[in-house]
Structures are given as C-alpha cells and as structure tokens.
Amino acid sequence: MNSFLQIALILLVIVLLAYPLGIYISKTMDGENRVTKKILGFIERLTYRFLRMDPKEEMDWKEYLLSIVFFTVVSFIVTFLCLFFQNLLFLNPAGFHDLSWSLAFNTAISFVTNTNWQAYGGETTMSMFSQLILTVQQFTSAAVGISVLFAFIRGLKRKNLGTIGNFYADLTRSTLYVLLPLSFVSALVLVSQGVPQNFSDYTVVQLLEPILKDGQWIMTQIIPQGPIASMEAIKMLGSNGGGFFGTNSAFPLENPTMLSNLVEMISIMLIPMALCFSFGRSVGKQKAGWFIWGAMMFLLVCAIIPVVLAELHVSGGTTLNGLIDFSLGNMEGKEVRFGALTSSLWSVFTTAVSNGSVNGMIDSYLPASNLVLIILMDTGEVVFGGVGSGLYTMIAFVILTVFISGLMIGRTPEYLGKKIEPKEILLATAVCLATPFAVLIFGSITALLPGLLASISNGGAHGFSEFFYAFSSAGANNGSAMAGFFANTDMLNVGLGLTMLVARFLPIVAIIAMAGSLARKKVVAQSSGTLNTESFLFTILLVAVVVIVGALSFLPSLALGPVRDMLD
C-alpha cells in the first residue's frame, strides 16, 4: 500500500505542475503571453528577421505541411552529414571515428522523428559536437510535435477559413518560450545533483582496486565528460529519450540521485499531460481537455498497477529505508539506488509517453511487465504520448469514436461543433493505424531477411519479444529497447529507420490535412441529435476503441512474444 501511495503522490505533483503549464503553453501558442515575450521577445523578432518572414502571414494546410517537410529534410541532411563526417569536425577529444552510412542514416532519422532510438553507445561513439547536434534535434523535433498539435487545434476552432497558422512562428514560440526555459531550469537542478555540464577532456582516474580484463589487470578508468545536463533536460521534457551514455539514465552521471530521478520522471510526463489542459483552453472547452486527460490517466493507471505488482511480487516487501519504500522485488537489471518501485514506474512512464529513456534494464523485467510496456507503445503513443503527437493521435481516436458511437446510436457525428464527414474519418483512421502499419509491415519484411538471427542473442519467445519490442519502439517513436538485440547492422538500421519515418510522418500528414478540412467548415450548433463527447460513457467508449484498434492489432505478435514468454 505504501508503494501505491508514493505513486499517487508523484502523479498528484505532476498534475499540479501540468495544469498551470498547460494554460501557459496555450497562451504562448495563441500569442497571448505578454510576460515572457517582454523578456525573450527580442530573440523571437531576430529569428523572424533572420528567416525573412512575417509571423502574421498564415499558411493553408498544404503550405504548413510543406514547411514541416522542408524543415525536417534539412534537419536530416545536416544531422546525417555531421555524424558521417564526425572525425573531421571539432569537439572530439576522444578521437572517435565517423559513423557508418547506415548508422548515421538511422540516427539522423531517429532524432528528427523524436524517436531517439540509439543503436550505438553514446560515450563510446559520439563526439561532443555530435551530441550537441543531436541535442538540437531533441528541441526541434519536440517543437514540431507541439506545432502540429496547435495547427490542428486551430482547425477545430476556426470556421470558414483556409489557414491554420504559421509553422515557423509555431516552431519558434514552442522552442523559445516553452522548451528552452523548462530545460534551463531542469538542467540547473540536474547540475546541482552532480550531472556534468562542460567541454572538458575525458578524465582518467585511478581505480581503488584493479580489474582483470582479457588476462590483463586494469588500473585506470576513463570518465566521459561533456554537455550532459543540457542534453538530459530536453531528453526528458521533449519526450526524446536519447541519452549521452549508452546505459541512459541508469548511468550515474546522467541520473546520480533519488532527487534527480524524481525530477526526470516528472519531466517525462509534464508537457504531454499539460497539453491536455492547453487543448481545453485553446478550443474554449476546458471540460473537453479534462475528459481526454481522464481517458489517458485511466489507461496509465491500468498499466502501472500490473507492472508494479509484477516487479514487486518477487520479494516479501523488504524495506531498505523507513521513509521511502524500496521494495526489493525483481532487482535484476535495476539500480539499487532507485529500487524496483521507481524503476517500474519509470518504465511505464517512458513507454506511455514515448520517451524511450530508461533507468534500468528492460530486458530484465518480467514477461508480464514487458507485455504491458509493449502494449503501451503499440496503442500508438496515446497514453499522454509524445510532446504534441500523443494528444493529436488521441484526438484522432476521439473522432473515430464519435463516428462509431454515432453509428451505434444514430447520432450525428460531430466534435466540438464540426461535422465529421468521410474525409475526416479516413484521415483519422490513417493516424490510428500508422503505428500498426509501420511496425507490422517493416517488421515482417525485416524478419524474412537473412542474417536477422545473428542479431538476436536469446532464443524462443524471449528472443522474438526483443525483436518485436524494437520495432514497436520504432513504430511508436519511443526509442527504448530490450538488451540482447544487436541492432547496428545495415539491414536493421534501414528497417528501423523507415519504421520511424512512416510512423512519425503519416500521422502528421493526415492531421494537417484534417486541420485544413476542419478549418473550412462552419460551426454547427448543438442539438438533441448531437453526441455528448464530454461524458463518462464516451470516455469509456474512447478507451475501448484505443484498446481494440491499437492493442488488438498486435495480438498474434503479443501471443508469440511476451505472452508465450510468460508461459515458459
């Protein structure tokens, strides 16, 4: 019981922080926030002057989409070239070689799609300059998600208009007024806890005791240095997950204390949850935002309970500290300083939010826990999900639920005063099925190619779970992975890269097209035939559609992987 009280307290703190942040984000993106504009407004104006653009000049949905595509292509090319020619660039004190073409391709796609899948060890592969380039992409990919969300919100709000905002203005505001200030504060907290932030050479230290390795006694150890705190902050806040170190937030220099662990867990959930309240305020119906939040929170709690129970069930609930319940539970692959409880909660947060960061070894979790984590990703990152992308995907499920419910009871399919017609249903279906399509198609093709078995170190159901988890993570733009799966091959780098690309941009294309369609519609007054989308019954129907369309699409794969693994 003490464990669940701790979880409830953490969730309460996140909600209390998320609500005012959501209102702030709404005001910022709607151009109503005057306080921060007085402080940082000159940077915004300089940005527009540099880009030679007028932020008041709005775009229709095609122009908005083309701007996203252009920005993403440029980001990909710059990132790819920086990684591919890493050895020729500066801030490379360890003298790392350039990346192979396939790893550079995979990593560049990974970071521009907000996935941050890492088929490399950060501190043993990437120079400081490369890490900085990837950090920039963590900001911009998160800002793209927020921009797409608010373009869609404008489509819902406006009537008889053909424009949905200015992409570059949205990108600038979300980065300058939301992501940068939050990351700055978070990075300061992390630095205070011992996370490095420097450009020093790697440090060589003497070991207290020698280590025997490959028949030789090792007397020293190299401690990597670099701009770690800044990358860690946006990694969490932007639902990125790509860490400076290969072992991510399990590494002491990324996550040294219980306080840093708590700050990072809160950061994972903060903006995705806040955007629910931003949505309610921006569309003028705060209740609508609360009901979407309620559906997401219900699914989150339904995931937390079985994972925590499974991971804590192994022991009798031994307590290491009288104030904080460190139930020993399944401690394999988990850090003793965090314990099974907070590690389990972190794993649910990171797969629900499509963050992808880890503070323990997911491969060491029980099969029942891995089943829940995979389902969270396979639902299409809608349990709060990625920054912006989780909410607009959930709204697509809302539109699909409105249509299905209307057919069942003979009500008019409308949402927030806009009629839902065949075009919107088709586009919403494309959003909802993007993850199943990308995972199953590219995963199946890759599974048939020769050489795959060489990348799987475990046999049977567990080995299949590792493979399936990797493609689910790529398809959910998540980025976490189970160990035991060697992904750095040309075949897997390309296959996973294409999965990430389709899963990210198919929903964006559909959402922006839907925003343009809705913006041209007139607002229809509610009548006795209008379906009430702000009720407990509709929330239950929404959860059911998410589970049926999302999770059950993967039932055969789940049965062959984690379910079969549970029975072994």
* SS3 state at 2: helix
Question: What integer is the mean pLDDT of 375-400?
Answer: 91
- Asked if 116 and 241 count as a contact pair (C-beta separation under 8 A), the reply is yes
Instruction: Average the pLDDT over 465-484 and give the result.
Output: 90
Per-residue pLDDT tens digits for 411-451 = 778 888 888 889 999 999 999 999 999 999 999 999 888 88
Helix boundaries (H) for 336-459: 339-352, 367-378, 389-409, 422-432, 434-448
Q: CB neighbours (10 Å) of residue 529?
A: 11
pLDDT digits (tens, 9 = 90+) for 522-566: 887 776 667 788 888 888 999 999 988 877 889 889 998 999 988
Tokens at residue 72, please? 């993403």
Question: What pairs with residue 412 in β-bridges?
Answer: 530
Q: Quick one: what percent of the chain has pLDDT higher than 90?
A: 60
Q: What CA–CA distance (Å, rounded) separates 194 from 304?
A: 29
Find the range with the poorest average confidence among 294-298, 361-365, 505-509. Answer: 361-365
Give tens-digit pLDDT for 219-247: 888 888 899 999 999 999 999 988 899 88
Tell me the pLDDT tens digit for each residue of 255-274.
999 999 999 999 999 999 99
| pLDDT of 320 | 44
Higher per-residue pLDDT: 154 or 331: 154
351 vs 212, which has greater pLDDT? 351
**Nearest CA among 138, 82, 146 for reference residue 113:** 138
> pLDDT digits over 491-513, tens only?
999 999 999 999 999 999 999 99
* pLDDT at residue number 315: 46
pLDDT at position 534 is 81
Measured distance CA(398)–CA(415) in Å, rounded:
8
Q: How many CB atoms lie within 10 A of CB 559?
A: 11
Measured between alpha carbons, how far is 406 from 151 in angstroms, rounded to an integer?
Answer: 26
Q: How far apart are CA 134 and CA 132, in angstroms?
A: 5
SS3 category, 552 = helix
By C-alpha distance, which of 64, 241, 238, 242 is closest to 142? 238
Q: Which helix (H) or strand (E) holds 415?
A: strand 414-415
pLDDT at 17 over 90: yes
pTM for the predicted model, two decimal places? 0.93
pLDDT of residue 529: 67
H-helix or E-strand spanning residue 221: strand 216-223
Task: Specify whether the CB–CB gap between 252 and 128 falls below 8 A.
Answer: no
How many other C-beta atoms can be found within 10 angstroms of the C-beta atom of residue 400? 23
More confident residue, 210 or 268: 268
Whether the per-residue pLDDT at 321 is higher than 60: the answer is: no
Q: Do residues 505 and 114 touch, judged by C-beta distance below 8 A?
A: no
Report whether pLDDT(318) > 50.
Answer: no
- Segment 21-39 shows an average pLDDT of 89
How many CB atoms within 10 Å of residue 314? 14
What radius of gyration do the chain's Cα atoms show?
23
Q: What is the percent of the chain where pLDDT is above 70?
A: 97
How confident is the model at residue 213, as a pLDDT? Answer: 78
pLDDT tens profile 59-114: 999 999 999 999 999 999 999 999 999 999 988 888 889 999 999 999 999 999 99
- In degrees, to the nearest 5, what angle opens at C-alpha 349 toward C-alphas 460 and 342? 90
**Residue 322 scores a pLDDT above 80:** no
